[in-house]
Amino acid sequence: MRGARVLQCMHMPESRPITPLEPSRNVGAFMEGILAAAQEANIDSAQAADADKACGIAPKELPEGHALRGYTILRTLGSGGFGITYLAQEKRLRRQVVIKENFPAALCYRSAETLDVCLNNEESGRELFDWGRGNFLREARLLGSFDHPGIAKVYSYFEAHKTSYYATEYIDGVSLGRVAADYAQGRSHITQEALIGLMSRLLDTLDYLHERKLLHRDVKPDNVLITRNGLPKLIDFGAAREQYGDNSVSTVESLGFTPSEQGEKDGNMGPWTDLYALGATLYYLLTGSCLPGCRQRELYDSATPLAAYPKLLKEFDIDLLRSIDHACRPIIRERYQSVSQWMDDIRPFA
């Protein structure tokens, strides 16, 4: 399966009743605290040697073939500063799943003897680690309460090796970033019908979140996976937060896709924030280029609108392209304020 060939136009899913969710807690203080704790701990080579002697240090990723609460680790999919993602096999149902492990690397290491997660500094790191682990499980419970075809299902969450895990649906497909690369290099083609299907599905997914007063905050090509059936799935909810409430959140920015209000301490974030990111994602899909930074565009917008690309005008209706340009305008008040506003503009093409 390659690139844009997996995109297919699909009907909008039937409407579903919205039920209230426990709001997700802000992880900003946790992330900032981890960085501070890492500086405070300042474990030098001598301390590291002592730790190695007392409790040998293993690679931070669990080994292939490791049994973990009814799952078998097949391989590591990714490893970042705050967690590790694995492909695993669920033994009982014989299906592949993705397992996410809470592993704040600045605070901890893995014991070679037990594979448990051990703190670098018990005194300075325990409170931060426990807070983060609790928040990790709250995120899993939040995702587990979602019931939408555009969001990967959470199957279980559990604790093991002195940390926390959750298992999610394995999505067999390609990232929208890969689709964009294939399209830009002429290896595949995107029809207007396929583009509208993609937009409608992603907008429906964002509407589902926004109805629950949640923002994704990191919509970008690599956080959209296209299944073999052509269904887009929004992934990576690590940056998700409430639309309204505590503004003291960490800055989460993806260059070329994040609007300026998201990088401000008291930024005016709302549905328009995710819609900017989706517009910027679609801009990248169709042009192969990122938009200039939003702050820069507020001063001088050097971005070429999609509706001004002669090549795109041969493939797509100008008003459809203008709707994407509208979504990613740098000034908040000039963008779509809700999913329904954008859907109203693309409905004539559906």
Q: Which residues are catalytic?
A: 218
Residue 185 half-sphere exposure toward CB, CA atoms < 13 A: 9
Tokens read off for 167: 């298992």
Spatial distance between the Cα atoms of 333 and 303, rounded to a whole number of angstroms? 18
Burial of 130 (0-12, 13-18, 19+ CB in 10 A): exposed
Crossing angle for the helix pair 339-346 and 318-327, nearest 10 degrees?
Answer: 170
The span from the CA of 281 to the CA of 173, in Å, is 18
Q: How far apart are CA 327 and CA 219, in angstroms?
A: 13
Residue carrying the six token digits 């990122």: 290
Residue found under tokens 């928040």:
135
Burial 244-266 (b: 16+ CB within 10 A, else e): eeeeebeebbbebbbbbbbeeee
Q: First CA to last CA across the chain, in angstroms?
A: 25
Which amino acid makes up residue 50?
D
Q: Which amino acid is present at 106?
A: A
Strand partners, 165: 101, 158
